[in-house]
Structure 1
Amino acid sequence: MARINQTPFEADIIDLGPDGRGIARRPVDHPHAGKTVLIAGALAGERVMARQTGRSREYDQAETVDVLQASPERVEPRCPHFGVCGGCSLQHMAGDRQIVAKARVLADDFERVGPVRPEAWLPPLTGTAWGYRRKGRFSVRRVEKKGKTLVGFRERDARFVAELRECHTVIPALGSRIQALATLVDGMDARAAIPQIEFAAGDDAIALVVRHLEPLGDRDQAALVAFAQEHGFAVFLQPKGIDSVAPLWPPDPKLSFRLAPWDVELEFQPLDFIQVNAGLNAKMIAHALELLDVQPGERVLDLFCGLGNFSLPLGRSASEVVGVEGDAGLVARARENAVRNGMAHVSFHVADLATDLSQEPWMVAGFDRLLLDPARAGALEVLQQLPLEGIKRIVYVSCHPGSLARDAAYLVNERGWYLRAAGVMDMFPHTAHVESIAVFDPALPAL
């Protein structure tokens, strides 16, 4: 393959792509006239100088070198690492415009994938834009040429680890201590055998899970304990797979978060899935429950229920809630959470929701309301086999607008449901991630 020509070139940005990169076209005098170029750091309506960084058959990739004509939506990024670190892609765009761009991604996917269109658009759900990230994974790499160990998110070029001093999207108690964490690891004997450190924060504790590919000696373990005590962290070690995670200090740490409006507390393990943004999560739950509109005496099915993030708040209004999840560990902890919160009428079951569910006992009795919160792949397989007769409303929470649009098209075009409303929720400010919610009714409303 020929070497990429990295001579800077001018480009007019005609649109913003769903991944947050500006979209341009090669000019008519270019050998590949009309070919799409995706340019990191550029906004719609801008003219920029860009440098090509990659190519494929469908499009070229580039990065902004200089902004010749700025969009009125452009702002100065708050983080000094923006543009190198791949953790954020939209810090150069005003926050109130980011959510507008995400709403357009959802609308475009409904139109392109469906095509379906909601009767109404829900107002965007937003929260705190900084210091919100309570869960994530830092990559770790010892770089001998630099004589240091790097701890951070991957760079835009994912082959490299960003050298971070701070992070403004991670919760401040950790985001301000990334350099201290890197110094800690750099002083360890096993520094070259630590590929990642995951973090998860509850209301009262922040857990660091240190993945290590060789056993840690006493000196390294003592260093980790001292760091945890100094900064108030809980440290876990992970020598192998997820099942090998065990606390180093303190001996029996507790991770939990409260959902105060429903007087619910959820305990979790450090590698369990929890929503990244605690403030937005509480708003999302309230939003979803309001849209689901559970009435007294009704039975609710919560699919992809995880730890009970929606199931347990639903238990405050529904006569019975059935939560179903494929991860047995999450279900075990969801059951413990139900007991801890005194909710005997909320039950949890393990099931692979992409397989035949006809023999599952929880499928036998009917449900009045359905809530879904699937992973990126969506919920098509389970929707195709669910008996939807008798269900009065479906609320679908989505972390991928394309799969939501596909599943909405199935419900509307093949099952006769009606897409009443949809909207976006800013779970990940300053990134291109689009979280959304949709409401379905069983038939068109009477005229």
Structure 2
Amino acid sequence: MIAPVTIESLDQEGRGVAHAQGKVIFIEGALPGEVVTYNPYRKKSNFEMAQVGQVLKPAYARVTPQCRHFGTCGGCSLQHMDARAQVAAKQRILEDNLKHIGKVESELILPAVYGAAWGYRYRARLSVRYVAKKGGVLVGFHEKRSSFVADMQACEVMPLHISRLILPLRELVGSLSILDRIPQIEVSLGEEVDVLVLRILEPLTSQDEVLLTAFADRHHIQFFLQPEGSPQTAYPFYPKDAPELNYTLPEFDIVMPFHPTEFTQVNPAMNRILVRRALNLLDPQPGERIADLFCGLGNFTLPIARRGAYVAGYEGSAAMVRRAGENAKRNGLARNTQFVEANLFEINEAWMQGQGYFDKMLIDPPREGAIAVVNSLGEGRTAPPRIVYVSCNPATLARDAGVLVQGKGYLLKAAGVVNMFPHTAHVESIALFEKAAV
């Protein structure tokens, strides 16, 4: 019989961490401070993966999950933990990563940024599968540790009106001639229109088109169709005259149009707060020349430009570079912005020097981080005196912070988390680096 263990901390996947018999035990559904039994599902020589069994001593932060599908659906991992305790745990994960991976500590821990805990998710990629044994079509996220689609009827982290579409969508797909040839529905919500992108592996029949049109009218959504593998092949099906898909940054008087398959933040309310915090830390001034690396469609570039600085945005995707340029023009900011296509994972110091001097820099990389970027920065006066780093992975932020502090002469002045994804283990964070005085 396996003896109970005491949970010491959470890992970056939201699992409880314990030690037993010389092994590290990662336990799904367990919280720090709890005494639990566990059921292993994967055993290795130095660690085990397990599911929580009985909670013999619950943590103060344990709450009843709000979603009926929690525990089966893989979309959330922390609904059993109080929302504020989740953020505190994420702050500890950030600090631990900085200390143990980067070997650095922040001079200031920024207050954590909270937002709505439910109904926040404006982007989602829902899997679709026809399962005869389940009585028809399933639409939802994958089950935990599985390629199966969860049997979902609602989703508490999506807006209520979209959550209520899950069952109607199951019925709709089940009525189509290609019910087993639609693997995915992508949800992309804007200020004035809600878009659903159907990935179709075979053409629709005329009757299918009638059914989609009626559904769109009834539920006030717009359908896009994606007949090929590339997301950029998605095109508007019905209605073709729907309002423009966009999000806004009212504080900076910016409207940001986007294609439904392009990357935008899942949580638009928190994105506004993130942009505000980033600009407060960066403090752009009129006349400064600022670099925005991994600029996407201009989420930070355009607010920086609105403050009067000249901004050069760098991005690896040619399509996103074009979109960012269009957005700058749309917002009257084309004169003080420039967008450059560049593979920022392969740049070096010579390339960076070729871009000229920047007064400040913002870095917002994907999960892989920005190791080539930080290695490319000169150690002398050519490097920007201030860097704001927005991260979706505390491990790669910590690695890059180590390079900046120990190799490039920067100080880590401030760092903190932004709770972009409540009820998940995802840690969004922001850090401020400044050149040490010579």
TM-score of the superposition, structure 1-length normalised? Answer: 0.93
Q: Aligned residues: percent identity?
A: 44
Give, in angstroms, the shift of residue 65 of structure 1: 3.4
Aligned residue in 2 for 1:61: 49
Question: Per the alignment, do residues 339 and 269 of structure 1 end up closer, same or farther by CA in structure 2, a change over 3 Å counting?
Answer: same
Q: Give the whole-Å Cα distance in 2 for the aligned partners of 1:25 and 1:207.
A: 47
Q: Give the whole-Å Cα distance in 2 for the aligned partners of 1:422 and 1:361.
A: 25
Structure 1 counterpart of 2:294, from 282, 293, 304 = 304
- Once the two structures are overlaid, the 10-residue window that deviates more, 48-57 or 282-291, is 48-57
- Once the two structures are overlaid, the 10-residue window that deviates more, 47-56 or 284-293, is 47-56
2:199 is matched by which residue type in structure 1? Answer: R
Aligned residue in 2 for 1:314: 304
1:433 equivalenced with 2:422 (yes/no): no
What are structure 2's unaligned runs of at least 5 residues?
none
Give, in angstroms, the shift of residue 184 of structure 1: 1.2
Aligned residue in 2 for 1:409: 402
After the TM superposition, which residues 231-250 of structure 1 pair with which residues of structure 2 at under 5 Å, given as runs?
231-240=219-228, 241-250=230-239
Q: Give the whole-Å Cα distance in 1 for the aligned partners of 2:45 and 2:301.
A: 45
Aligned residue in 1 for 2:61: 73
1:21 equivalenced with 2:15 (yes/no): yes
Count, aligned residues = 433
Q: Is the 8 A contact 1:199 1:209 kept in 2?
A: yes
Structure 2 counterpart of 1:115, from 103, 126, 129 = 103
Give, in angstroms, the shift of residue 303 of structure 1: 0.5
Aligned residue in 1 for 2:154: 166
Q: Give the whole-Å Cα distance in 1 for the aligned partners of 2:406 and 2:352.
A: 29
- Once the two structures are overlaid, the 10-residue window that deviates more, 381-390 or 136-145, is 381-390
Q: Give the whole-Å Cα distance in 1 for the aligned partners of 2:349 and 2:225.
A: 40
Give, in angstroms, the shift of residue 435 of structure 1: 0.4
Aligned residue in 1 for 2:319: 329
1:36-88 deviation per Cα after TM superposition (whole angstroms, max 9, x unaligned): 22111111121233322233444222222332221111011111111111111
2:10 is matched by which residue type in structure 1? Answer: L
Aligned residue in 2 for 1:186: 174
1:113-145 deviation per Cα after TM superposition (whole angstroms, max 9, x unaligned): 110111111111111111111111011111111
2:120 is matched by which residue type in structure 1? Answer: Y
- Once the two structures are overlaid, the 10-residue window that deviates more, 150-159 or 379-388, is 379-388
Structure 2 counterpart of 1:106, from 94, 98, 108 = 94
Q: Secondary structure at the match of 1:164?
A: coil
1:419 is matched by which residue type in structure 2? Answer: L
Q: Give the whole-Å Cα distance in 2 for the aligned partners of 1:185 and 1:385.
A: 50
Aligned residue in 2 for 1:366: 357
Question: Per the alignment, do residues 411 and 390 of structure 1 end up closer, same or farther by CA in structure 2, a change over 3 Å counting?
Answer: closer
After the TM superposition, which residues 283-298 of structure 1 pair with which residues of structure 2 at under 5 Å, given as runs?
283-298=273-288
- Once the two structures are overlaid, the 10-residue window that deviates more, 385-394 or 422-431, is 385-394
Q: Secondary structure at the match of 2:211?
A: helix
Aligned residue in 1 for 2:83: 95
Q: Give the whole-Å Cα distance in 1 for the aligned partners of 2:2 and 2:18.
A: 14
- Once the two structures are overlaid, the 10-residue window that deviates more, 315-324 or 373-382, is 315-324
2:231 is matched by which residue type in structure 1? Answer: I
Q: Give the whole-Å Cα distance in 2 for the aligned partners of 1:220 and 1:11.
A: 55
Question: Per the alignment, do residues 316 and 186 of structure 1 end up closer, same or farther by CA in structure 2, a change over 3 Å counting?
Answer: same
2:145 is matched by which residue type in structure 1? Answer: D
Question: Per the alignment, do residues 360 and 110 of structure 1 end up closer, same or farther by CA in structure 2, a change over 3 Å counting?
Answer: closer
1:356 is matched by which residue type in structure 2? Answer: I
Structure 2 counterpart of 1:421, from 406, 410, 414 = 414
1:201-222 deviation per Cα after TM superposition (whole angstroms, max 9, x unaligned): 1111111111122222222222
Structure 2 counterpart of 1:264, from 254, 263, 284 = 254
- Once the two structures are overlaid, the 10-residue window that deviates more, 214-223 or 289-298, is 214-223
Q: Is the 8 A contact 1:300 1:318 kept in 2?
A: no
1:251 equivalenced with 2:247 (yes/no): no
Question: Per the alignment, do residues 10 and 358 of structure 1 end up closer, same or farther by CA in structure 2, a change over 3 Å counting?
Answer: closer
What are structure 1's unaligned runs of at least 5 residues?
1-6, 27-32
Question: Per the alignment, do residues 229 and 47 of structure 1 end up closer, same or farther by CA in structure 2, a change over 3 Å counting?
Answer: same
Q: Give the whole-Å Cα distance in 2 for the aligned partners of 1:58 and 1:147.
A: 43
2:236 is matched by which residue type in structure 1? Answer: P
- When the two chains are superposed, the root-mean-square deviation of aligned CA atoms in Å is 1.9
Q: Give the whole-Å Cα distance in 2 for the aligned partners of 1:359 and 1:336.
A: 29
TM-score of the superposition, structure 2-length normalised? Answer: 0.95
1:378 is matched by which residue type in structure 2? Answer: G
1:422-447 deviation per Cα after TM superposition (whole angstroms, max 9, x unaligned): 11110000100000000000105x9x
Question: Per the alignment, do residues 42 and 144 of structure 1 end up closer, same or farther by CA in structure 2, a change over 3 Å counting?
Answer: same
1:321-368 deviation per Cα after TM superposition (whole angstroms, max 9, x unaligned): 111111111111111111110112112111111123678699433111
Q: Secondary structure at the match of 2:180?
A: helix
Q: Give the whole-Å Cα distance in 2 for the aligned partners of 1:196 and 1:160.
A: 13
Question: Per the alignment, do residues 209 and 9 of structure 1 end up closer, same or farther by CA in structure 2, a change over 3 Å counting?
Answer: farther
Q: Is the 8 A contact 1:299 1:318 kept in 2?
A: no
2:346 is matched by which residue type in structure 1? Answer: T
- Once the two structures are overlaid, the 10-residue window that deviates more, 357-366 or 155-164, is 357-366
Aligned residue in 1 for 2:331: 341
1:397 is matched by which residue type in structure 2? Answer: V
Give, in angstroms, the shift of residue 177 of structure 1: 1.7
Aligned residue in 1 for 2:385: 392
